[in-house]
Each structure stands twice: as C-alpha cells, then as structure tokens.
Chain A
Amino acid sequence: MKVETLTTGDGGPVDFGSFVEYNQETKEARIKRVALTSPEIFDMEMRYIFEGNWIYLCHEDQIPDVGDFFTTTMGRQPVIVIRNKAGKVNGFLNACSHKGTTLCRTQQGNKASGFACSYHDWCFDLDGNLEYMPRMDEGFPEDKNLANHNLTKIAKVESHGGFVFGSLNPEVSSLREHLGDITEIIDMLNDQSEEGFEVVRGTNTCVYHGNWKLLIENGGGDGLHLPSVHKTLIKVVQMRDEELNKGKTKAAKMVRVDELNDKDTVGATYAMQNGHTLIQSDLPNPEDRPAYSRHETFVERHGEERARWMSSKLRQVAIYPNLFVMDQLASLIRYVRPISADRTEVSYWCIAPKGEARQLRVKRMRQFMDFFSIAGLGGPDDNHEFEQCQVGAHAAAAPWSDASFGLHTEFEGSDRRANEVGVHDAKFGGPVGWEGGSVRQYQHWIKMMQAGQKREMAMNR
C-alpha cells in the first residue's frame, strides 16, 4: 500500500503544521488521518511525547506501602514506580544496570528489601543505588565507582491528588504547571471523601486494534457518538428501568444516558492548556450515583456550585496524553498505553472513596461494569469503532477527517460556570459535542511534535 511520504527530501523534517487545517472564516476544521497509521510518526510520538514529557504512571493507592511497586511503560521503555523508605514515590527504568534484565516482573508487588536482579544478583536499594554484587571485590579495582551502576531514574516523578506522573525528560515544567486548573477537577473527586480514594481490586484491560489518539479524542470531546454508537446501551438503560419499576431486577439503576446532553442540559467541553480537555454536563438522575448521598455535606463545605459539580455533574478530563479521570456514568481511571500505530492498550480502574458504605459500593461497582468492563455494554462498541476508523484511515485517497461540528459556537477562555469552580485556564470551549476539543488536542500534538523534531535535529547537527 502506498503511504503518503512523510518526510521532505532525505530525512528532512515532517511538516506537522500541515496535519490540521482550521479555516476561521468558514469555521471548518480537518485532521490528516495519516497521523493514525504511520509507524514513522508513531516512533516520533513515543520519543517526543511519551518519552519526552509528563505522562501518567499509576495511582498512589496502587503502591501504598514502603517498597510497593507498579510496573508500566513510558513510551516503549519499561519502568518501575516504587515507594522508597521515606515514603516518596520514585521511578526507575525496569532494566538492571548490568545487562538490562528486568528487575520487577509482575504488575504490582513489594520490594521493601530492595531489588535483587535474578540474573547475576546485583542488588539495589529503593533509591536505585547499587549496594551489592557477588564477588564484588574480586571483579573490579578497589577504586571502582559503583555509582555509575545505579539504576536509571525517571527524571521527574510527581503526583497530584494521588495521581502519579513522570517524565523521562528532566527539562519539563512542574507537574502543577503541566496540569493547570485540571487540578480542580481532581480535587473535586478527592473531596468526595475525607479518607481519600482507593483503586478497587480487579483489573479490566484490553488492546484495541487502533491508534491511541482515537481514544484520546473520543473521550476528550466527542459527545456526539453517544446516541449512535451506544444506542443499545441506551435501550438497555430504558429496559432496565422498566424492570426496576416492576421489581424484576436487582441491577443498579444506570445514569439515564438517553436524557444526557439534550437541549436543556447545562454542559460544556473545554480545551485546556497542554492538550488537556474537560467535559462537564448535568446528570439527568444524579441521585442514582453514589456521591449524591453526600450532596448536603458538599454544599456546606464547598458551596452550592462546587457541590453541584461534585455530586450532580458528569466530569471527564483527558489529561494529555494518556489518562482519563472520569466521574460520570461510573468513576474510573482510564489509562491509555500505546503499543504501536495500530495497537493501544486500555486499562479501566474503578475508583471509590475508602470506607464507602456497602450499598453505595455495590451500586458503584455495577455502574462501573455496566459500561467499562471489557465485557461492558458501552466500551466494546467504542473499541470496535476505533478499529474501524483505523481500517478506514488507510483509505489514503480520502486523507482528511472532519472536525468542524460546533466550531461556529466556540468561545474563548473559561465560561462563567467553569470560573465559578476555579477552572480559569480553559483556552477555548463549546457545547458538549463541540469538536474543537479534538482540534485543540491535535494542535497541541503538532506543537509537541514540532518541538521534539527540532530538538532532535539540533542534537544530530
């Protein structure tokens, strides 16, 4: 298959600026689909975005105790996130300094006594310092500097509200600056509980056969697909409600997705700094979500408007490039791990207030599994659409995706409702369904790809 040539001449730069066209006069935008299919671009994304800037790693509740670790990847590089003796979260490449053997081989676990490589027994403390190797004094001169053989640290590891992020590139802003006012949305979630949030036991992970950006833009702003892709979910919600009214089922009442985002709903999508997006929208039946039982407490502590966001609104943030914090039909972390241009791993972690009353927890779990399990009534349909987008993206004779919906209604900055809860740094916004969210995501992508390419070319010069 002929793939569009990405480079200009011999290894010359890719013209990333040409990937998005936004006509301000006609309010039309389009995005080049080759960004989804090109392995060459995928390689650059890994270097410039996933291995070159802040990405989400794990939740602190997944590593609560000293020595607890969580393994994942940053771009293509295997990493360990671990809590050290002082309780601080550190990160290392999951590769022994000797021969690159992985040190942690399970998803989670505990290494309170340090890392011992099973290949040659090189041992490291929780800060990555080489402490011991067999026959150390025979193998090297006395003045051997063992510090050269410490584990390679992840340059930056910081967290906000339990969400741990890292950057392999030391030259990035603080995490606080990177997140901007998205932190308000994370705080609204955590403020639902005095005891903090936990990640509920049990994983749901799948690999869809499509590019990672398809999910990021779907969850980042696409409020249009609900009535079409999820029409069977909507019907099941209605059928279940009928049965609940007849007392014929014990399932939890779901959010009335059929009434979501109709003309009277107050909601908006915002394109935030650094490629992040936020969707907020009134829930038709907030009383059926677990957090609503504490609404009055939220009002007392945080005022009417913030309490409304905490208990009665759907809040969904896409923290570029790989994390969704979602409190909507369910409450969850959706973690995105690109594998190749056409493979993306997605993990869904249900999150819940620690010490939640059993009846609320039961409802929370059912609402989570209804949509977000790998056998849920919602997620599988999304994944299938991403896979079909990936197939269609190879139709190179039709190289553009349209992203114009609602652009004529977009506004600059945060609106009144966002300002009222401290979200001031939105760059643009529009109604739910407004595709400016994905356009701005791609504009941020262009910026990162251009910066990364420039940096690399300067190094190679």
Chain B
Amino acid sequence: MTDKTALQVEVEQFIYREAAMVDQSRWQEWLEMYTEDMTYWAPSWVNENELTSDPETEVSIVYMNNRKELEHRIWRFTSGESPASYPLPRTNHLVSNVAITEVSGDEVTASSNWMSQTYRDKEQRLFGGYYQHILTRQDDGAFKISHKKVVLLNDVVDSFVDVYHL
C-alpha cells in the first residue's frame, strides 16, 4: 500500500467512525474525536444556490467554535428534558465520495458526501449534503477533527434539525 493509499484509508475509516459514534449514541467518544478548539459550522442558504460564507457575521444553522459548546449541546439533547429531542430518533449516516483535498503539515482536509436517515414517531426523515473535515494529527499519532463544515441541502426543514441529524 502506498502512503497515499494508506492515508486515504485512514481518513475514510476515521470519518466512518465519526458517523458510527453518532448512530450508536456513543456521545462521549464522539466528542473526544474533536480538538478542544474545534469549529463546527453548518452554513445557511442565502438563496437557491449560494451559502453564507462567514460564520462570524452571517447566519448559520449551527456554528460552534469550541468543544465546550458541542459538549453542552450533547448534554442538552441527551438530558431527556429537551422536548424536541425526547425521545432521540434512531439515526443512520451514510458517508461516501471521500476525497482528500489538501495535506499540509499535520492537517488533512477531506471532502465527502453524506446522507442520514432518521426515524422517530412513526416518521422517517431524510437529510443529505456535503462534509468538509479538517483532521489534525495529534501527539499520539491519531487524528482529531479541528474543523467540520456541514452543508445541508435543505433550506427549509420540517420542525427542526440538530447535530445528530447532520
């Protein structure tokens, strides 16, 4: 296996594992896949074909720039006290078309396509879009997510979405 192929496999396996952590409700392990100073950004649509480009000054669906915020969010939707997230839906994330777009020092940038199928209250919902991951090699050699961008194709959703749908 060439280095390039090995890296491709490593990145793919990492991204698949992230999806599995969500689908298996292994929230603590999911959280630990992110760096402490991570950013997580799901931009909003400006019009039919254009997304917002600045999470700091424009509207997003989700924007977090610290892992604490994800931790709070996970607490919220697993607490059983947020009506929107109780009971949590069953989720099934499919990720494909994983392509490494940039390698720079400790950082690997990868794009992929995703679909999620969720089920709750006798209702099936389907979401999809694109991911961009920036994975940063840690001291122990393992990757962590320092940046994740989620593009959701919908600009109108039924009721609401949360990070477990995306």
Report which A residues bind B (CB closer than 8 A).
Answer: 106-109, 200-209, 229, 231-233, 235-236, 239-240, 243, 248-251, 345, 350, 358, 361-362, 365-366, 368-369, 373-377, 379-381, 383-385, 387-388
Contact = CB atoms under 8 A, between A and B. Distances in A.
B83 interface: yes
B46 A203 contact: yes
B63 interface: yes
Given A107-B48, A203-B46, A207-B158, A384 B65 contact: no
Contact of A365 (B57, B69, B156, B162): B57
A232 B60 contact: no
B96 interface: no
A383 B57 contact: no
B47 A209 contact: no
A206 B158 contact: yes
Contact of A251 (B65, B85, B156): B65
Given A106-B47, A251-B64, A232 B58 contact: no
B21 interface: no
B5 interface: no
Given A369-B63, A373-B59, A232 B46 contact: no
Contacts of A236: 72-73, 75-76
Interface string B120-160: 00000000000000000000000000000000000111111
A201 B53 CA distance: 9
B146 to A, nearest CB: 14
Interface of B: 42-48, 52, 55-66, 68-69, 72-73, 75-76, 79, 81-85, 155-163, 166
Contacts of B60: 202, 365, 369, 373
A206 B58 contact: no
Contact of A380 (B52, B56, B84, B166): B84
Contacts of B72: 236, 239-240
A249 B83 CA distance: 26
Contacts of A206: 156-160
Contacts of A239: 72, 75
Contacts of A251: 64-66, 68-69
Contacts of B68: 240, 243, 248-249, 251
A250 B65 contact: yes
Given A202-B43, A236-B76, A239-B75, A383 B63 contact: no
Contacts of A365: 55-60, 63
A196 to B, nearest CB: 18
Contacts of B58: 200-202, 365
7 contacts: A205-B157, A206-B156, A232-B75, A233-B76, A251-B64, A362-B56, A385-B83
Contacts of B83: 229, 381, 384-385, 388
A132 to B, nearest CB: 27
A204 B61 contact: yes
A375 B159 contact: no
A352 to B, nearest CB: 9
A369 B163 CA distance: 14
A384 B52 contact: no
Contact of B159 (A249, A350, A380): A380
A358 B63 CA distance: 17
Contact of A374 (B52, B55, B65, B161): B161
